[in-house]
């Protein structure tokens, strides 16, 4: 494989914006991702979910946001390597070689890690028959809203995802009940108020203890977390939104400074390895906020510092894109 100026590990929003901005700066780019498609969690986990905190969009479906980010991130024709997991990092005289699990060797001068939370898997309730009913009444995300058309739906969780699905599926499901084991929520205040003002029923201080149904879900047993009293709750579907377990996988063995599954970076978003940067949810620094809106800013900054590392005569700030003719990369 040919050597590129920058390899971006992770094809989610931050990685795609890094690809765009590197192309704008006249850099050759490669994107590598273990998923079969670009877009990261927007495309893989919740394509039908609305995103409300992206500048320029009062609200936008995740799949539509991903589509536009992909169009923007690939307009300078980066090399795209999908379904390949970055495994080993090898230092060379003029950069690095990323070796994939499948044995592919990808030489690069610099690296921007934008792997989100790493490899992720949903946190499960942890009760009998949960695996058996996965896809037959038990769900951990929503790829197609029509699956819940006319259903009696229970949403388990107290964070943003749980509240967002209550709002987004209110016009699809016949009835929605939010189930949470306590009366404290982690969702944004506005989302909590919207659910309280909606037709969604809230069952607070309850946890799912048992699943009912043979080939498909017909109901659950709920247990009050304080009194331990149990009741049968009939439902057709349950969306479990109690978090995700993430793992950086082989990246943990690259010699990076990692604390609590996050890569430590400096003010340039550079790691302890020269020429290796990290942006988005995967990185950590004082004052870190995990938002797409802040992550894309980190990506642009990392690209500019990678550019000046490769070309010390290049300007750190290339000027505003409104002053450029997009499609003509800024070389300095």
- Among residues 207, 223, 240, the one where a domain terminates is 240
- 29-49: buried (b, 16+ CB within 10 Å) or exposed (e) per residue? bbbbbbbeebbbbbbbbbbbb
In a domain, 137, yes or no: yes
Same domain membership, residue 169 and residue 115: no
The 3-state secondary structure of 171-203 reads: CCCCEEEEEECCCCCCCCHHHHHHHHCCCCEEE
Same domain membership, residue 23 and residue 94: yes
In a domain, 332, yes or no: no
Q: What pLDDT, on the 0 to 100 scale, is given for residue 1?
A: 82
Q: What pLDDT, on the 0 to 100 scale, is given for residue 247?
A: 76
- In whole angstroms, give the CA distance from residue 245 to residue 235: 27
Same domain membership, residue 266 and residue 199: no
Structural domain span for residue 88? 4-120+244-323
Residue 33 near residue 24, CB atoms below 8 Å: no
Residue 169, judged by CB atoms within 10 A of its CB (0-12, 13-18, 19+), counts as: buried
* DSSP 8-state code for residue 251: G
Residue 236 near residue 184, CB atoms below 8 Å: no
Same domain membership, residue 149 and residue 133: yes
Same domain membership, residue 102 and residue 59: yes
Same domain membership, residue 206 and residue 131: yes
Tell me the whole-structure pTM to 2 decimals: 0.74
- Among residues 216, 240, 264, the one where a domain terminates is 240
In a domain, 330, yes or no: no
Same domain membership, residue 63 and residue 150: no
Same domain membership, residue 268 and residue 212: no
Q: What pLDDT, on the 0 to 100 scale, is given for residue 119?
A: 61
- In whole angstroms, give the CA distance from residue 288 to residue 294: 9
Same domain membership, residue 129 and residue 112: no
Same domain membership, residue 224 and residue 90: no
At a CB cut-off of 8 Å and minimum separation 6, what does 112 contact?
Answer: 6, 7, 8, 9, 15, 18, 277, 278, 279, 299, 302, 303, 306
Same domain membership, residue 235 and residue 255: no
In a domain, 299, yes or no: yes
Classify the phi-psi angles of 7: left when phi > 0, otherwise alpha if psi is within -120 to 50, otherwise beta. beta
Name the domain count of the chain: 2
In a domain, 172, yes or no: yes
Same domain membership, residue 281 and residue 145: no
Query: Quick check: helix, strand or coil at residue 241?
Result: coil
Per-residue pLDDT of the chain (332 residues; tens, 9 = 90+): 899 999 999 999 999 999 999 999 999 999 999 888 899 888 877 788 889 889 999 999 999 999 999 999 999 999 999 989 999 999 999 999 999 999 999 999 999 999 876 666 788 999 999 999 999 999 988 878 999 999 999 999 999 889 989 999 999 999 999 999 999 999 989 999 999 999 999 999 999 999 999 999 999 999 999 999 999 999 999 999 998 776 788 999 999 999 988 999 999 999 999 999 999 999 999 999 999 999 999 999 999 999 999 999 999 999 888 777 665 555 44
In a domain, 329, yes or no: no
Nearest to 206 by CA among 235, 185, 227: 227
In a domain, 331, yes or no: no
- In whole angstroms, give the CA distance from residue 12 to residue 298: 14
In a domain, 226, yes or no: yes
Residue 318, judged by CB atoms within 10 A of its CB (0-12, 13-18, 19+), counts as: buried
- Among residues 218, 240, 262, the one where a domain terminates is 240
Residue 170 near residue 153, CB atoms below 8 Å: no
CATH number of the domain at 136, please.
Answer: 3.50.50.60
- In whole angstroms, give the CA distance from residue 2 to residue 79: 10
């Amino acid at each position: 494989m040919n050597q590129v100026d920058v390899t971006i590990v992770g094809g989610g929003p931050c990685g795609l914006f890094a690809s765009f901005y590197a192309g704008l700066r006249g850099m050759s780019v490669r994107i590598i991702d273990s998923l079969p498609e670009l877009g990261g969690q927007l495309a893989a986990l919740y394509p039908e979910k609305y995103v409300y905190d992206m500048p320029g969009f009062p609200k936008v479906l995740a799949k539509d946001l991903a589509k536009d980010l992909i169009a923007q991130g690939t307009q300078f024709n980066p090399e795209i390597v999908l379904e390949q997991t970055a495994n080993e990092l090898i230092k060379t005289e003029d950069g690095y070689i990323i070796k994939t699990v499948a044995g592919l060797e990808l030489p690069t001068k610099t690296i921007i890690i934008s792997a989100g939370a790493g490899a992720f898997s949903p946190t499960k309730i942890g009760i009998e028959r949960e695996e058996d009913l996965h896809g037959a009444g038990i769900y951990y995300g929503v790829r197609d809203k029509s699956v819940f058309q006319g259903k009696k739906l229970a949403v388990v969780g107290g964070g943003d995802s749980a509240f967002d699905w209550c709002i987004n599926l209110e016009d699809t499901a016949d009835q929605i009940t939010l189930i949470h084991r306590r009366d404290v929520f982690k969702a944004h205040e506005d989302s909590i108020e919207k659910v309280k003002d909606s037709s969604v029923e809230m069952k607070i201080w309850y946890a799912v203890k048992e699943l009912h149904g043979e080939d498909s879900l017909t109901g659950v047993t709920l247990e009050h977390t304080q009194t331990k009293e149990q009741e049968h709750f009939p439902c057709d579907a349950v969306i479990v939104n109690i978090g995700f377990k993430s793992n950086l996988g082989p990246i943990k063995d690259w010699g990076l400074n990692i604390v609590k599954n996050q890569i430590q970076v400096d003010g340039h978003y550079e790691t302890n390895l020269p020429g290796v940067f990290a942006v988005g949810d995967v990185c950590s620094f004082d004052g870190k906020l995990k938002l797409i809106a802040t992550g894309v800013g980190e990506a642009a900054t990392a690209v500019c510092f990678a550019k000046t590392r490769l070309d010390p005569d290049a300007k750190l700030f290339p000027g505003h894109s409104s002053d450029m003719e997009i499609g003509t990369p800024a070389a300095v």
